[in-house]
């Protein structure tokens, strides 16, 4: 096996007994770090410290992972304007959420002989969502379909922060609108009470209600 010293120095190819002896003399462990190599590579090290550091690195990697998803949106080459606007809105929402979008143009029948319909539609879409996404994979033909992949301009973590901030802003606006409505309602009621005609008191108001007339 190939032995690496505690300080990273290359000791060379040694027998197992020799590697174990050197590790014992150093008061450390002998760890196999490349079992599939020929010959296998082992290193003299503090195994507990090495295991702890690797666990820390794994946690940091999971914490920084973006978890980007790939959404898919399917369109027809002759899609009408209303459906196009609706699906474009979904694509923008996915991109703003930090996810990639796989856009698929589905051709049927004679439409397959006119790939320019799909190319033009995808070019139009890419231009209209360029504030939120960029073309990661250019349009390509895949059987009866044409595929393009859009990538978000923001990272997933950044998108989450922006979405949360937008929710807070909308909640604040709703609360302000409700407060304004309640204030207007109270003012309207107060104004109505001030302008309502008051009934004048007459002689009958001074009579004892227990006296029979």
**Per-domain boundaries in the chain:** 2-64, 70-154, 157-191
Asked: is 70-154 a CATH 3.30.110.10 domain? The reply is yes
CB 151 within 8 A of CB 136: yes
Q: Are strands 70-75 and 41-45 parallel, antiparallel or unpaired?
A: unpaired
List, for residues 146-187, the tens digit of each pLDDT value: 999 999 987 655 656 666 667 777 888 888 888 888 888 888
CB 103 within 8 A of CB 77: no
pLDDT at 71: 93
**What's the Rg (C-alpha) of the chain?**
37
Residue range 56-73: mean pLDDT, rounded: 71
Residue 177's Cα: distance from chain center in Å?
29
List, for residues 85-137, the tens digit of each pLDDT value: 999 999 999 999 889 999 999 999 888 899 999 999 999 999 999 989 999 99
Which of 46-50, 157-161, 208-212 is modeled with the greatest confidence? Answer: 46-50
Q: Which of 20-29, 131-140, 193-202 has the lowest mean pLDDT?
A: 193-202
Alpha-carbon distance of 158 to 68, in angstroms, equals: 12
CB 45 within 8 A of CB 31: yes
| CATH topology for the 2-64 domain | Ubiquitin-like (UB roll) (3.10.20)
pLDDT at 50: 82
pLDDT at 198: 61
pLDDT at 197: 64
Length, in residues, of the chain: 213
Percent of the chain's residues with pLDDT above 90? 41
């Amino acid at each position: 096996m190939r032995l690496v010293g505690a300080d990273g120095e290359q000791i060379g190819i040694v027998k197992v007994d020799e590697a174990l002896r050197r590790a014992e003399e150093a008061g450390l462990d002998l760890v196999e770090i490349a079992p599939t190599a020929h010959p296998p590579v082992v290193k003299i090290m503090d195994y507990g410290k090495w295991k702890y550091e690797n666990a820390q690195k794994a946690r940091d990697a999971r914490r920084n992972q973006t978890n980007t998803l790939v959404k898919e949106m399917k369109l027809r080459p002759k899609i009408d304007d209303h459906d196009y606007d609706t699906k474009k809105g979904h694509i923008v929402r996915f991109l703003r959420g930090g996810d990639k979008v796989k856009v698929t143009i589905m051709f049927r029948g004679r439409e397959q002989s006119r790939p320019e319909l799909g190319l033009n539609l995808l070019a139009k879409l890419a231009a209209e969502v360029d504030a939120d996404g960029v073309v990661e994979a250019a349009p390509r033909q895949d059987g009866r379909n044409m595929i393009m992949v859009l990538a978000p301009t923001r990272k997933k973590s950044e998108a989450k922060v922006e979405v949360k901030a937008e929710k807070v802003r909308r909640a604040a606006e709703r609360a302000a609108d409700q407060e304004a409505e309640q204030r207007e309602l109270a003012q309207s009621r107060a104004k109505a009470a001030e302008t309502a005609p008051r009934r004048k008191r007459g002689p009958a108001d001074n009579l004892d209600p227990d006296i029979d007339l």
